[in-house]
Amino acid sequence: MTHDIHIIGGGLAGTEAAWQLARRGWRVRLSEMRGTGERSPAHQTDGLAELVCSNSLRSDDHEKNAVGLLHHEMRLCGSLIMAAAEKARVPAGSALAVDREVFSAEIEAALTAQPSLTLARERIDRLPEAGLTIVATGPLTAEALAQSIGAATGAESLAFFDAIAPIVYRDSINMDIAWMASRWDKGAEASLALGGDGRDYINCPMTRDQYLAFREEILAGEKAVFKEWEANTPYFDGCMPIEVMAERGVETLRFGPMKPVGLDNPHWATPEHPNGRWPYAVVQLRQDNTLGTLWNMVGFQTKLKYGEQQRIFRTIPGLENAEFARFGGLHRNTFLNSPTLLDRQLRLKSAPHVRFAGQITGCEGYVESAAVGLLAGLMAAHELGGRDWQSPPATTALGALLAHITGDADAASYQPMNINFGLFPPPPEEVKKKQRKEAYTLRAKAALADWLPLLG
């Protein structure tokens, strides 16, 4: 054997795990199927850690936000994903959004520069019978390997649909109708620091009649037909297709991705309202690359057919001549019932030489996937070094996420979960409601500071 550990999957979790091990000198074989002529239904490139859905890693606020706190903790653990995100960052208010191509290139360059890491472009069809292994193949694991995992777990994996939002070319957007602004000007300071102007979103306004007509078009539009094996797969609430939201009620979209609050339209300014007035609904677009040439439609993941997407989305004011760099899509995600199948160190109970990491464990989101990869890499490094592992405290974001995956969640109703303060132990009762988020983060930072020296 020419390696100490085998990592299967070159996504966010696999690359983060590989980094944590290789930077400590362990010999890593990182196997990635893309580059062999094969790709999953959602991937478009052969680059490591390709972001297939949004280009946002969500809020970077670590004072009062759970995912921002997770960013902070990962940075302190030497995360490759977070370091690459900083180099590839684009203006997005208080969110951490990246240029996808720069982000992927930074990760691949950092890994291939590690002398103890071998990047193998190969498809792995079955779980290794021996040798330390981390499986980080994500929610679109290739069929043969998925069958091998199913045979090893002795249980059927759960599955849900995850949808992808369309991307529009910036120069095809009519800025005589649309305008630049962030909701309530939130995140303006962070935007300015990145070279933005504090107005990081393109906003397309709708009147009430336009909104109602648009919703009817969404409902009537021709949708992709599910395959037989997909028919009973549920959606994940955090990535609901826009047409499914539209079906839930006339006003659902206005209280979701099309909410108008905090967005004053300057094109509608009058002497009585010199700053404009709020539209009935708003479609927002967020910058998707460093050049600012590509913008994604926030919250507009969809299963509409491509021709229908072009026709219907061009009825949005400001997008009447929109050119699409990518249409929205839909793919099936698969994940393990981890509280039942994995131990507290992410090892398969029936084959403890195998760890799982990333979305296949049932975490949801880019950052969460990378965070579980980070933990799996650290756990494996301790095991290889003959050292006892101590998990991060449950009061930290890393610890709360790990506890949810490996045992705190109800196995009978286990579902994908983003990091949120509901996964943390509650603060003392005397903490007032308005101060709870700050209390969570302050407690987490103190606990992490005590835990970090245990990493060695």
Positions at the binding site for FAD? 9-14
Cβ neighbours for 211, distance < 8 A, ≥ 6 positions apart: 253, 254, 258, 280, 281
Cβ neighbours for 325, distance < 8 A, ≥ 6 positions apart: 167, 168, 169, 294
Cβ neighbours for 234, distance < 8 A, ≥ 6 positions apart: 160, 161
Cβ neighbours for 358, distance < 8 A, ≥ 6 positions apart: 9, 11, 12, 13, 14, 136, 137, 138, 369, 370, 372, 373
Element (H, E) at 330: strand 329-335
Q: From CA 238, how far away is CA 42, in angstroms rounded?
A: 18
| Structure tokens belonging to residue 369 | 């996937």
In sequence order, what DSSP letters do the residues of 175-220 get, joined into one string? TTT-EEE-GGGTTHHHHHHTT--S--EEEEEE-HHHHHHHHHHHHH
Its sign, for the CA torsion 24, 30, 34, 35, is positive
**What is the Cα Rg of the chain in Å?**
22
Q: CB atoms < 10 A from the CB of 255, how many? A: 12
User: Would you call 432 helix, strand, or coil by DSSP?
Assistant: coil
Q: CB atoms < 10 A from the CB of 219, how many? A: 11
In sequence order, what DSSP letters do the residues of 353-374 get, joined into one string? EEEE-GGGGTB-SHHHHHHHHH
Element (H, E) at 326: strand 324-326
Instruction: Give the residue ranges of the annotated binding site.
Output: 9-14
- Strands 5-8, 28-32: pairing kind: parallel
| Structure tokens belonging to residue 452 | 């970090």
For residue 342, the 8-state DSSP code is B
